Amino acid sequence: MNSEKLKIAVLGGTGNIGEGMVLRLALQNLMTEGVKNEIIIGSRSRETADEAAKKALSELENCGFNTSGITITGSTNLEAAQAAEMIILTIRFDNVLPLLDEIREALENKILITPVVPMVKEGNLFIYKPPEEGSAALAIQKRTPASTKIVAAFHNIPAGKLKDVVKCKAVHHALVCSDDVEAKKKVMELTQHMGCLKPLDGGPLQQANTMESLTPLLINLAKLNGLKDLGINFS
């Protein structure tokens, strides 16, 4: 990873996946020499985002990390998107499309990472329910500017493992899909240094539906077999 400083916004960063992504991005700063990315937590409420930023720094300090070189701030989703060069959507699919309309102008020439999975609960289990475009990633691409570089990633990483920056030792593979070669490369480099994650090239964005559909499968397998925080490991 080079020493280029990035401003990375985690929209919906106050939820479980968002909190885990913030901690992993902070860990990447700590573990990679020369990297001092700025992390911006986006939320509908600036106050909620500010509290989430303070909580993340506190959790890292409680785990024994020196946070003096880490910048984590809170903002609204729109302001976070405007300030960032790279944006991660950690928001439920039902809420993503209206948000994209709100922040559309802020997405010009940005890298937009989507771990979003369209799924619904039927009985005690979840099923994958993609939109008419075929996947959340393609629906997001359709509703963003042509200059926005869409990257599908992090769908199959359990929130519990993302948030456990101390004990998580098992490697989970993070599949990364995009039609933009440089954007995919940048996200894979970022992932490589986040701890317990190993990126794998998942192909073009058209393949994102396969990745997305694995998430309800993992959740269902965990529920049916009394397991927790299932991820994907290829060997």
Question: Is residue 38 within a helix (H) or strand (E), and if so which, with residue range?
Answer: strand 38-43
pLDDT confidence of 11, banded at 50, 70, 90?
Answer: very high
Kindly state the tokens that stand for 13.
């960063």
* DSSP-assigned beta bridge partners for residue 119: 128
pLDDT in tens, 136-158: 999 999 999 999 999 999 999 88
pLDDT confidence of 2, banded at 50, 70, 90?
Answer: very low
The amino acid at 40: I
User: Helices 16-31 and 46-62 meet at what angle, rounded to 10?
Assistant: 50
Q: How many angstroms separate the CA atoms of 118 and 134, rounded?
A: 10
88: DSSP letter = E
Compute the mean pLDDT over every residue in the chain, rounded to the nearest whole number: 91
**Percent of the residues in the chain that have a pLDDT greater than 90, as a whole number:** 71
List, in order of start, the domains of the chain with CATH numbers: 6-225 (3.40.50.720)
Q: How many angstroms separate the CA atoms of 40 and 79, rounded?
A: 9
Q: Please give the model's pTM, rounded to 2 decimal places.
A: 0.94
User: Does the structure show a pLDDT above 80 at 168?
Assistant: no
User: Does the structure show a pLDDT above 70 at 33?
Assistant: no
Is residue 131 within 8 Å of residue 139, measured between CB atoms?
Answer: yes
Q: Which residues contact 146 (CB under 8 A, 6 or more apart)?
A: none
Quick one: pLDDT at residue 99?
96
pLDDT confidence of 6, banded at 50, 70, 90?
Answer: confident
User: Does the structure show a pLDDT above 60 at 216?
Assistant: yes
130: DSSP letter = -
Q: How many angstroms separate the CA atoms of 152 and 117, rounded?
A: 10
